[in-house]
Structure 1
Amino acid sequence: MQKLSKLATTLQWLIKNSCVISLGWMPLLVHAAGVPTLKEMVIRANARELIGTANSANEGTVLKQQLDSRTVYRPGELLETVPGLIVTQHSGEGKANQYFLRGFNLDHGTDLRISVDGMLVNQRSHGHGQGWADTNFIIPELTGNVLYLKGPYYANQGDFSSAGAVSMSYVDKLPQGIASYGLGQQGFMRGLLAKSHEVGTGNILYALELLTKDGPWVKHEDFKKFNAVLRYSQDSGSTKFNVTAMGYGGNWNSTDQIPQRGVATGFVPRLGAIDPSDGGESHRFSLSSALQHISRYGITQLNLYTLHSNLALFSNFTYFLADPANGDQFSQFDKRFQSAMNANHLWTNKISGIEIENMVGVQFQNDVIDNGLLSTKERQILSTTRKDHINQNSVGIYYQNSIQWLEKFRSVAGVRTDYYWLDVESNIKANSGNRYDSMTNPKLSLIFGPWAQTELYFNYGSGFHSNDARGATSTVDPKTRDPINQVNPLVRSTGYEVGLRTAIIPGLQASFAAFRLDFDSELLFVGDAGTTKASRPSKREGFEASLFYMPTDWLTVALDYALARARFSDADPSGNQIPGAIRGVGKLAVAVDNIGPLFGSLQFRYFGKRSLIEDNSVQSNHTITLNGQIGYKIGNKVRVAIQGFNLLNTQAHAIDYYYTSRLPGEPLAGVRDLHFHPIESRSIRVNLVANF
């Protein structure tokens, strides 16, 4: 490693520890004999080891120990350990979560790049919306660390990463086997069995999870899912690799958002549904591998994976507006085979005494997709709006270097070029076709310091998100056959940021970042309508602040707050507010452990107001929630924990929308109203965990 010199600065603290972390998109496997205290590891991850290695104030690592202390209602909420990120749900549990970050309502993942064990979770040209990121296949107990980056400043982050990128890793082995059983209110039951064994020079890890949950809804969700993981890994010193198979399946009933007027008149209970036949089923199977090799020429990393996924989703958001006789339920289906290869090489050299760290990489992805939009009644097909077969290919190449110009000044510069090929065969001939697009984006970060364990960062970069392939080839509306404009396959974003990170106070780490992010247009395939709209150009300005305090080995406190101003940047009589864009977000998490047999945690979350219409005449209310747990360790092998969700039993909304819908007996033109999905009422779970 000495021959790599400062190239390894981003890895040095990892090499001293026994842990698993992700570097960009790639799982990096690092092992060593020395194991520091929990306090040392957490401090290193959150600030001290990032000073001198991080490229911005908005990147960081969440360790497994921190993830394990979280009380999460659903697996996707593990991502709320990322400062400024909110994860919620507006439908059944089997559906992808809704994400909010940096002034964005990211829907199901439009501009938040999520990867798990090196595999991109976001699905492009998806039947329900661009960037669909379903995290139900994650088993929390197997997660290693979470690496997060925000803004379009990183050359190795491509599609969907303009607001941020989150990379989650799985562990190679478990210190002990896990047998877990949970039972709770609202029909909750969960069982998990996981263990690893040494086999020859490697390790085999396996896990099986079964879960069922009804939720508080009048129409029980009857959510049932299974997860299975089988992994083989090997570490021979300079070469490390793993091969992993994963399987997930789930089915559920949905209680979608309901109209405020319907609750006020008693037409529908607050926890009821207009169409009780809404719901869905989904599965996902994947095979992935990761390789890392260290030599005198540098570090080479390779990641290969293939996956098959299938989704059938039944929704009804407008009730009886389009079809007063049969109702407006529709089905969106998506079946795909996705394959990808990611490779990069890192090395260092000296020019005129100046040390340069280099990284070059290539990323390839192919999606073969069959999806469509159907009109249905009680999950029975009435008519076909559209069916499409899509073949989508992309290649991204990038280069990045880091130069230590002076003792207290370094730069990180990069460039990335992406090429996209789209081929769509539609049942509507006018919407078939093929498109090609490419985009080159520069990146630059200037880092000053450290002075007194404090660094300053200045960041600039442009990025992009891809559009749904169907929107790029369609020329007529699939329902009305009216002419529509095609959209560009790739949409550019441009970001600017200034930030600060400090660990000057022992045990306390803090970061602050002020940012601006501009989009040429917020183009998005509207899965609920089966067409694509090109919205207006936009800009977002805001700041984020986060604090992490660990005064002792038994107490950790994490606090973050973010505020953003999101506006359309052109003039329009309708107004310049971006509907659904988040303003303020705040979180406080306190965890206690290592004080004898007792342990526990509390998590407070503030989800701020959003404008729901362009002229700001309708707004959502804010939402405040409190989750927590208290547990007792029975010896070294058994522990029991009581978990509480929505402890304040608030009757706030998980999500709000404003649009036109129609209930029976209302005018045929419908009524514009606020529609909401209530947050789940208070519930208690008991979990028993035995190690073996």
Structure 2
Amino acid sequence: MALAILSALAQPAWSAEVAEPVEAVIILGSRNSQIGIADAASAGVVTQQQLEARTVYRPGELLEATPGLIVSQHSGEGKANQFYLRGINLDHGTDLRTTIDGMLVNQRTHAHGQGWTDVNFLIPELATRLEYSKGPFEAKQGDFASAGSVNVLYANRLTQGIVSAGIGQNGYVRTLLADSPKLGNGNLLYALELFHNDGPFVHGDDYRKVNGVLRYSEGNDTDGFNLSLMAYKARWNATDQIPQRAIDTGLLANRFDAIDPTDGGSAHRYSLSGAWQKTTDTTATKINAYLVSSQLDLYSNFTYFLDNPVNGDQFNQPDKRITTAINASHSWKTPLMGRPSENTIGMQIQNDNIRNGLYSTKSRQRLSTTRADHIVESSLGFYAENVTQWNDKFRSVAGIREDFYRDQVTSNLAENSNTVSAHVPSPKLSLVFGPWQKTEYYVNLGRGFHSNDARGATIAVNPRDPAARATRESALVLSRGLEVGVRTEAIPGLQTSLSLYRLDLDSELLFQGDAGTTQDSGRPSRRIGFEFSNYYKPANWLTIDADLAFAQARYRNFDPVGAHIPGAIEGVASLALAIDHLGRYFGGLQLRYFGPRPLIEDNSVRSNSTITLNGRIGYKINPAMRVELEGYNLSNRKDAAIDYAYVSRLPGEPADGVFDKHFHPIESRSFRINLIANF
């Protein structure tokens, strides 16, 4: 109904003259004002200068520019990161919708985890800005956006060419070459990255990455087009999480040792994408389409010798897919009841042709097949949104989207082959009041969802025991969000936002150590929390980011095992200082606090807190060349990057295993030096 109403309004109330295209302006300011722009206190934009000031150990940590977001790792560097936001252990990306250059990174019905978000192909130097929003409040954000969304935008044109070379401890080597020379009526941007890192592990990661981008573009971000080719290929070894008792008994040499040193994997991602946009005084049309071919071959062992005391519990999860997608939107301005108003309608289509499976292995050699599947997952989403400025102190944003899914699973077990369909409507409403004295107030309500693994929606029997019946999951899981917030710039140089939120999920996805994947708990949950974000520029040479977030996460139904949600993040804090314009010197510090979390439902086992301190200092040799020294975990803390509690079995232990805390350590103190030249 909403789509029909807005489509009827598509004829503008007045004829508009077509605006002449203008050259895009790259804003280099540290942070743009969001007063009068953002629709929520928890939404914002991080500029290119802010992104450049961050010290990141791995590409995924660039996303931590989003206040309250934690990016971690529990395995080898080539594996998708672990994400935490708004009281949720997001596993490898579920409930955090992530797009890079307009392409959805989250992968549906993935072999290892629903919403698998591998951002290792991200090249930070190409990122021009990062847009984030929290909660299910934006009509254009569909699957996986319950906790929030992050969008990284790549440049069409570089202001200068870049040559970068870096070396460091633990086998770190990185080189980058990028430029965007003129070609015809546009620019041809190219980038090539070569990377290697071992990390501090006894059995080094030996992470090898080749990464490239080739893009032709004409025009700018509002009027123009681009065509892009991207290619990423990597191999690595993995030191997965280890049991605490292996350290206590001396079975492992140190916290960087491994139970199964043959874990690891390989991955590639190749994409062809294009985007076109046209803007006039009263209309804006955007279209982007992409084709992605990706493959992962992952080997893991989390329970060691619990299921197979002879050959061990290593398993292989291959995933090979072709993803095609097209997104289109059209906006137009037209009065509503005599007030300035803008309407947007959009469509999102995606199809995934997937082949994946689960195999028992020893030292990466297959022993048996647990399951093998061919999945075709298709979705169609429509959305409509209206923004109306009712008076100079009040505007509303009302939206609705409808998503349709069709999952077709062909399994090696005929009983698990089936086709299911589902659809879900998602209404949204945001009310914005102000500004008064450079202060705005927000009320946001919305419903969202994430898709479940299609294999869980069609399963009939347990593939490990075909005589046992299995419980099917819903194809789509609903979420409901409520948020109130305030944003102020009343104090010169200081931008502050505070949001209070509630987020309900119809069911939880939890990590299962013995299966090496996530499983629907079937229990509804609720999270209540706040986020407090501050950006302060007291002087031309100093900027300060200070963020604090806290969440209480509980199951909403009674169960004697307990109401706490394992792995649910509680307290997060960060403090970042960036220094520049001090002659030839520049630098920064980043302090991050990742608080304790319950590891089992009754809260009797909890993780410890994790604190990291990273920093860098740089010197500008001349206007075109600089050198940087980056340091990670400067205080050399022996904290864990992630913790789990489950049953595993080491050699010689009882057949039913031992319940223990398992952890993956943060990297020890290390340094890297980089030489960067512009041309």
Q: Give the TM-score normalised by the residue count of structure 2.
A: 0.95
Which amino acid is the alignment partner of residue 78 of structure 2? Answer: G
Q: How do 1:366-445 and structure 2 match up within 5 A?
A: 366-445=351-430
Residue equivalent to 1:515: 501
Where 2:340 maps in the other structure, the secondary structure is strand
| Aligned counterparts of 1:390 and 1:526: Cα–Cα separation in 2 | 23
Q: Distance in 2 between matches of 1:487 and 1:236?
A: 45
Conserved? CA contact 1:129–1:526, under 8 Å: no
In 1, distance between residues paired with 2:356 and 2:596? Answer: 35
Q: Secondary structure at the match of 1:457?
A: strand
Q: State how far apart, in whole Å, the 2-side matches of 1:175 and 1:87 are.
A: 30
Separation (CA, whole Å) in 2 of partners of 1:186 and 1:237:
40
The separation in 1 between residues aligned to 2:418 and 2:220, in whole angstroms, is 49
- The residue that corresponds to 1:11 in the other structure is none
3-state secondary structure, aligned to 1:350 = coil
Matched, 1:497 2:489: no
1:290-369 alignment, distance < 5 Å: 290-295=275-280, 298-369=283-354
Once the two structures are superposed, residues 563-608 of structure 1 have per-residue CA deviations (whole angstroms, 9 ceiling, x without a partner) of 0000000000000000000000001110011221100010000001
Note if contact 1:151-1:161 (Cα within 8 Å) is conserved in structure 2: yes
Mapped pair 1:285 → 2:273: no
Instruction: Give, as a single letter, the amino acid of the residue that structure 1 aligns with 2:263.
Output: D
Deviations 1:354-396 (A, max 9, x none): 1211111000000000000000000000000000000000000
Question: 2:114·2:518 contact (CA, 8 Å) conserved in 1?
Answer: no
Q: Find the counterpart in structure 1 of residue 106 from structure 2.
A: 122
Distance 1:638 1:183, change over 3 A: same
Residue of structure 1 in register with 2:668 after alignment: 681
SS of residue matched to 1:133: coil
Deviation at 1:176, TM superposition (A): 1.4
* Secondary structure at the counterpart of residue 354 of structure 1: coil
Residue identity matched to 1:383: S
Whole-angstrom distance in 1 between the partners of 2:125 and 2:581: 19
Distance 1:491 1:359 in 2: 26
Bigger shift: 419-428 or 527-536?
527-536
1:295, distance to aligned residue in structure 2 (A): 3.2
State the 1:250 CA deviation: 0.4
Letter in 2 for 1:510: T
- Note the C-alpha offset of 1:52: 1.3
> Is this contact kept in 1: 2:510–2:518, CA < 8 A?
no
- Secondary structure, in 3 states, of the residue corresponding to 1:107? coil
- Residues 284-308 of structure 1 deviation map (CA, whole Å, 9 limit, x = unaligned): 0001111101135510000100000
Match of 2:60 in 1: 76
SS at match of 1:206: strand
Alignment partners' CA distance in 1, 2:200 and 2:59: 18
> C-alpha offsets along residues 538-568 of structure 1, whole Å, 9 cap, x if unaligned?
0000000000011233211101010000000
Is residue 625–residue 675 contact of structure 2 (8 Å, CA) maintained in 1? yes
Q: Is the 8 A contact 1:238 1:295 kept in 2?
A: no
> Using the alignment, how far apart are the partners of 1:68 and 1:531 within structure 2?
34
The C-alpha deviation readout for 1:254-289, integer Å capped at 9, x for no partner, is 000000011000001211000000000000000111
Q: C-alpha distance in 2, partners of 1:121/1:237?
A: 21
**What SS is found at the alignment partner of 1:217?**
coil
Distance 1:107 1:295 in 2: 42
Q: After the TM superposition, which residues 416-495 of structure 1 pair with which residues of structure 2 at under 5 Å, given as runs?
A: 416-481=401-466, 482-495=468-481
1:12 is matched with none
TM superposition shift of 1:32: 4.0
2:166 to 182, 187, 193: 182
Say whether the 8 Å CA contact 1:398–1:415 is kept in structure 2.
yes
Q: Following superposition of structure 1 onto structure 2, how do residues 75-114 of structure 1 map, counting pairs within 5 Å? A: 75-114=59-98
Conserved 8 A contact 2:619-2:628: yes
What is the SS of the residue equivalent to 2:406?
Answer: strand
C-alpha distance in 2, partners of 1:453/1:30?
Answer: 30
Asked whether the equivalents of residues 415 and 441 of structure 1 are also in contact (C-alpha less than 8 Å), the reply is yes
Runs of at least 4 residues off by over 2 Å: 29-33, 236-239, 523-535
Cα deviation, 1:594-640, whole Å, max 9, x if unaligned, reads 22110001000000110000000000000000000001001111110
C-alpha contact (below 8 Å) 2:23/2:220 kept by paired residues: no
Measure how far apart 1:406 and its partner are. 2.1
Question: Structure 1 residue 42 and structure 2 residue 40: aligned?
Answer: no
Q: Secondary structure at the match of 2:560?
A: coil
Could you tell me whether the CA contact under 8 Å between 1:130 and 1:524 is conserved in 2? no
Kept in 2: contact 1:188–1:214 (CA 8 A): yes
**2: distance between equivalents of 1:632 and 1:498?**
44
* Structure 1 residues 615-626: aligned runs within 5 Å: 615-626=602-613
Task: Report what 1:191 is aligned to.
Answer: 175
Amino acid of the structure 1 residue aligned with 2:489: A
Counterpart position of 1:223: 207
| Gap change, CA 1:568 and 1:357, over 3 Å in 2 | same
**Aligned mate of 2:594, from 599, 602, 607:** 607
Cα distance in 2 for partners of 1:559, 1:238 equals 33
What is the TM-score when the length of structure 1 is the normalising length?
Answer: 0.93
Q: Which residue of 1 aligns with 2:7?
A: none
Distance 1:611 1:236, change over 3 A: closer
Question: Residue 24 of structure 1 aligns with which residue?
Answer: none
Coordinate RMSD, CA, aligned? 1.9
Aligned-partner residue type, residue 503 of structure 1? E
State the SS of the aligned residue for 1:690.
strand
Match of 1:241 among 221, 225, 228: 225
Go from structure 1 to structure 2 and tell me whether the alpha carbon gap of 1:238 and 1:441 turns closer, same or farther (over 3 Å shift). Answer: closer
Deviations 1:489-518 (A, max 9, x none): 001000000000000111100000000000
Deviates more, 1:295-304 or 1:342-351: 295-304
Aligned with 1:593: secondary structure? strand
Secondary structure of the 1:77 match is helix
Where 1:446 maps in the other structure, the secondary structure is strand
Question: How far apart are residue 30 of structure 1 and its match?
Answer: 8.0
The alpha-carbon deviation at position 422 of structure 1 amounts to 0.4
**CA distance in structure 1 between the aligned counterparts of 2:259 and 2:511, rounded to whole angstroms:** 25
Q: Separation in 2 of the partners of 1:426 and 1:569?
A: 34
Deviations 1:295-348 (A, max 9, x none): 355100001000000000000000000000000000001000000000001111
User: Does structure 2 conserve the Cα–Cα contact (< 8 Å) formed by 1:477 and 1:531?
Assistant: no
Q: Secondary structure at the match of 1:576?
A: coil
Aligned AA (1:495) = G
1:525 to partner: Cα distance: 8.9
2: CA distance between counterparts of 1:446 and 1:31?
33
Question: Once the 2 structures are TM-superposed, how far is the Cα of residue 4 of structure 1 from its aligned partner?
Answer: 9.8
Q: State whether residues 525 and 533 of structure 1, in contact with CA within 8 Å, keep that contact through their aligned partners in structure 2.
A: no
User: Kindly tell me: are residues 476 and 238 of structure 1, through their superposed partners in 2, closer, same or farther at Cα, counting changes over 3 Å?
Assistant: closer
Corresponding residue for residue 19 of structure 1: none
Gaps spanning 5+ residues in structure 1: where? 6-14, 16-28
Residues of 2 paired with 1:387 and 1:238: CA distance?
45
* Residue matched to 1:10: none
